[in-house]
Homo-oligomer: A and B are copies of this chain.
C-alpha cells in the first residue's frame, strides 16, 4: 500500500508550490462555502448582512457529510486536467453529497451556462442556494439536472460499474469515481471492483477509484473504516488494485498529499496505457486507486450541542438544525461559513475571483461540460445490417422449428461486425446458453484475467472481446447503463427469472431517462437500453420452481410510459424485426421476451414486419371468421402474447377448428404489449375504437399470456366489457415438469384453452360436452405420460399447424 499517511510529511519537495497550495485551498473553501450555502441559505448568499433566521431555509435538507471530500477530490482532479490536458469525468458514488459536486460545477461556470438564471453573481448565487433541495427545484443527489453527472447516486451501489461502463471504448477517458465507504458495503459495489478484469488498457480508458473512507454512513461506522490497515490493503490488492492512502484532516497537508498521490496515480495510469499501447500488448496492470481517509463533514462544526459532529456520523445530513428557534445555531452557522472567508473568494458581485477561476479547466475540459457525460451529443446511429437477410424461410406457418434467439445471434453478430467500437453485448455467463454464440464469429468475450491453454478449445476469450460476461447481473447492467449514457449502444440479456436481481437498477435507470426526457432539455437523447429476457418460465420446466418468474414486466409497467417498451415476438422473424427497431430507438428501456429453445415459426419476414409494426394483429391463416363478402363475426377471439403461449393457443385453435368447424375463431397475436393499454396511458396504446374492431366489443376473448395473467387485465382495464377477456398465464405452479405439464399446471395449454372456449362460448356449451371430456382425458393422459417417460408425447413435441 503506497502510503503518505504519516502526519510528519517526510517528502522534501512538495508537489504544490506555496501559491498553488494557497489557491487550491481557497478554491476548496469556496466549494465548501457553497455547499453549506446550498443546504442552509435562501438569501444573503455572500453574508454581506449579519445572518438572520430569515435568510435561512425553513426546511433544511441535504447531506453535508459527504460533500467536502467530494469537492476536494474534484478540484484536485481539475489541477491535473489542466496540467496534463486530461479528458475526465467525475462520478460521486455518494450522490447525496451533491453539494460537493454542484459547488465546483458552479464555480467552473458550467452551471450558469446551462441555467443562466443561476449566474455567477450574487443574485445567481442566491438562486443557486435556494433551489437546492427546494420544492419545485433540484434534487439533493447528482440527478440528471446536474451538468457532468452520469450517476445519480441515490440508490447506492453502482458507482464503480458506472465508471467502468463509461470508459470502455473511450481510450482517452479517465473516470474519477468517488466511492462511499458505506456504499462499498453494498453487494453490487463489492463485486464491481472486479471490473478491472474486463478493462483493456489499449482500447479502453481508465477508472480512478477514490474510496472516501470518511468512516461513517447514516448512523453507523463503516466496515472498511474499522478493519485493520492490513486488511484494507489486502482487500484492494486482492481486488487487483494498488491502493494509495491519503489520510488526515489538516487541509494544507492533505492538499499536498492529495496532489502528490493523485498525480502519481494519473501518471501510473498513463504509463500503463502507454506501455500497452506502444507494445500493442494488452495486460492487466494493478491499477492505482486512492483510499482517501478524511473526517466525515470535514471542516464543518466540530461539535454541536455538546456532541461530536466533524469526523462522526452526526455530520451525515444537516449538522445543525433548529435554526428558526435557536439563535445560537444561527451564530454558529455564520461563524462556520465565514470561516471559509468568502470575502477572499468572491468579488463584490459574487463572482469567484479571477485568480481562483483560472484553477479550473475551461470549455469541454471541465468535467461538468465534458460531452461524454451528455453522451447523446456524441452518439452515432448504429450501422445496422439489413435484418431481413436473416429471415427464416418458411412455406407454411407453424411447421418449421428454429431456436429464435439463435437467429437473433446471427443478426447481432453482424451488428457487432459493423460497429466494432461502439456496440457491446452483455450477459451473465449466458450468451451461449441463450444461443447468441454466433457473435463469437466476429468478437470474443472480453477477458483480461489469466488464460490457460484449454481456453483455445471453445473458450472464446480475448482481451479485445466485445461480449461482456461476468456472473453479476448488477455489474453488467451498471456497465451498460453508462456505456449508453456516454453515447454508445448495447444489448443485455438475462435469464428471465433472475432479471429480478436488477429490478431496482431498472427502476433507477427508467427514472433517470424519464427526468432527462421531460425536464432536462439540454441532455441529448441516448440509445435505448435493450434488455432481452430468455430462458423463459415455460422452458424452465427442468430447473424447477426457483427459475420460474415472468414478473419483471409487471415492474416495467409501473414506470413511465414515456420510457418503457415491452415486446413479445412470437417467432424468429418477429424477433429480428423487433430487435432492429429497438437498436434504432432512443431513450427507452426496451424489454424483449424471447425464448432460446426450438419453436415453431409463423410469419414470413414480410408478414413479420407488418405484424411487428402494427404490434398486434389478426393471423388470418389461423382464423376462420373471414366471412368473405359478409360481415366477419367471430364467436370467440383466441388472443395470445409470447412465443410459447402462442403455440398453445394455435394448438387449441387447431382442435377447435377440427372439432367445431362451424365455430368462428379469430386469432390475434400481440407483439407490442402496450398496444393493449389505452392510447391515453401509453403512446403505443390502441384507441378504444381500434381495440373494439379487433376484439369486437363483446365476444369472449381467451387471452393466453406469457406472464402473470393480471398484467393483461391491468393493461386492458379500460377496454369495452373487459371482463369478457379471460386471461391465462403463469400462476406460480411448477416444479420439475415437461413443457406441456408446466403449461397444464398453469392452464395455458391447448386442452385447457379448448375447455375455456367451451365454457365461454354460449353456442357451444353443453353441446360440446364430449369434446370437453376428451380434453380432460388428454390432460390426464399427458400428465401420466410425462411422469412415466420424462418427456412429452411425440405428438405434442412434434405438433405442427395443419390448416394452411
How far does the alpha carbon of A776 sit from the alpha carbon of B432 in the complex, in Å?
58
- The verdict on A790 contacting B546 (CB below 8 Å), with A239-B235, A471-B217, A558-B732 known, is no
Determine if A339 is an interface residue (Cβ-Cβ < 8 Å): no
Min Cβ gap A220→B in Å is: 5
- The verdict on A133 contacting B498 (CB below 8 Å), with A235-B238, A713-B713 known, is no
Instruction: List the B side residues contacting A156 at CB < 8 Å.
Output: 471
Q: Is the CB of A445 within 8 A of B220?
A: yes
- Identity of the chain B residue whose Cβ is nearest the Cβ of A134 in the assembled complex: B790
Min Cβ gap A499→B in Å is: 8
Determine if A461 is an interface residue (Cβ-Cβ < 8 Å): yes
How far does the alpha carbon of A545 sit from the alpha carbon of B449 in the complex, in Å?
39
Determine if A433 is an interface residue (Cβ-Cβ < 8 Å): yes
Q: Mark A693-713, 1 if CB is under 8 A from B, else 0.
A: 000000000000000101001
Q: Mark A534-558, 1 if CB is under 8 A from B, else 0.
A: 0000000111111101010011011
Q: Is the CB of A227 within 8 A of B449?
A: yes
- Identity of the chain B residue whose Cβ is nearest the Cβ of A448 in the assembled complex: B226
How far does the alpha carbon of A137 sit from the alpha carbon of B312 in the complex, in Å?
56
- The verdict on A790 contacting B139 (CB below 8 Å), with A156-B471, A717-B710 known, is no
Determine if A191 is an interface residue (Cβ-Cβ < 8 Å): yes
How far does the alpha carbon of A188 sit from the alpha carbon of B140 in the complex, in Å?
28
Determine if A58 is an interface residue (Cβ-Cβ < 8 Å): yes
- Identity of the chain B residue whose Cβ is nearest the Cβ of A158 in the assembled complex: B187
Determine if A136 is an interface residue (Cβ-Cβ < 8 Å): yes
Residue of B139, B227, B457, B736 touching A307 (CB-CB under 8 A) = B457
Min Cβ gap A479→B in Å is: 13
Q: Is the CB of B511 within 8 A of A500?
A: no
How far does the alpha carbon of A221 sit from the alpha carbon of B472 in the complex, in Å?
14
Which parts of A211-230 form the interface with B (CB within 8 Å)?
A: 217-223, 226-228, 230
- Identity of the chain B residue whose Cβ is nearest the Cβ of A431 in the assembled complex: B219
Q: Is the CB of B449 within 8 A of A221?
A: yes
Residue of B135, B219, B239, B541 touching A433 (CB-CB under 8 A) = B219
- Identity of the chain B residue whose Cβ is nearest the Cβ of A792 in the assembled complex: B135
Min Cβ gap A539→B in Å is: 12
Instruction: List the B side residues contacting A59 at CB < 8 Å.
Output: 542, 790-791
Q: Is the CB of B544 within 8 A of A154?
A: yes
Min Cβ gap A222→B in Å is: 8
- The verdict on A732 contacting B560 (CB below 8 Å), with A236-B238, A238-B234, A472-B187 known, is yes
Q: Is the CB of B223 within 8 A of A449?
A: yes
Q: Is the CB of A429 within 8 A of B154?
A: no
How far does the alpha carbon of A556 sit from the alpha carbon of B450 in the complex, in Å?
43
Most buried by B among A186, A232, A239, A312: A186
Residue of B507, B549, B710 touching A500 (CB-CB under 8 A) = B507
Q: Is the CB of A139 within 8 A of B217?
A: no
Instruction: List the B side residues contacting A789 at CB < 8 Å.
Output: 58
Residue of B221, B230, B508 touching A459 (CB-CB under 8 A) = B221
Residue of B189, B431, B503, B736 touching A504 (CB-CB under 8 A) = B503
Min Cβ gap A560→B in Å is: 5
Residue of B135, B474, B515, B735 touching A545 (CB-CB under 8 A) = B515
A sample of 18 more A-B contacts (CB under 8 A), given A59-B542, A61-B542, A197-B223, is A58-B789, A58-B790, A58-B791, A135-B787, A138-B736, A139-B735, A140-B736, A182-B471, A187-B187, A187-B192, A220-B429, A220-B445, A221-B449, A231-B239, A307-B457, A507-B551, A511-B545, A560-B732
Rank and list the top 8 A-B pairs by shortest CB-CB distance, nearest first. A235-B238, A187-B187, A154-B546, A139-B544, A234-B238, A226-B449, A500-B504, A190-B191
- The 29 listed contacts between A and B (C-beta, < 8 Å) are A57-B790, A58-B790, A134-B736, A135-B790, A136-B787, A137-B736, A139-B543, A139-B544, A139-B545, A152-B546, A154-B543, A155-B497, A186-B474, A187-B191, A197-B227, A218-B429, A219-B429, A220-B429, A221-B461, A234-B237, A237-B238, A308-B454, A314-B458, A498-B504, A500-B504, A507-B549, A514-B732, A560-B732, A710-B714
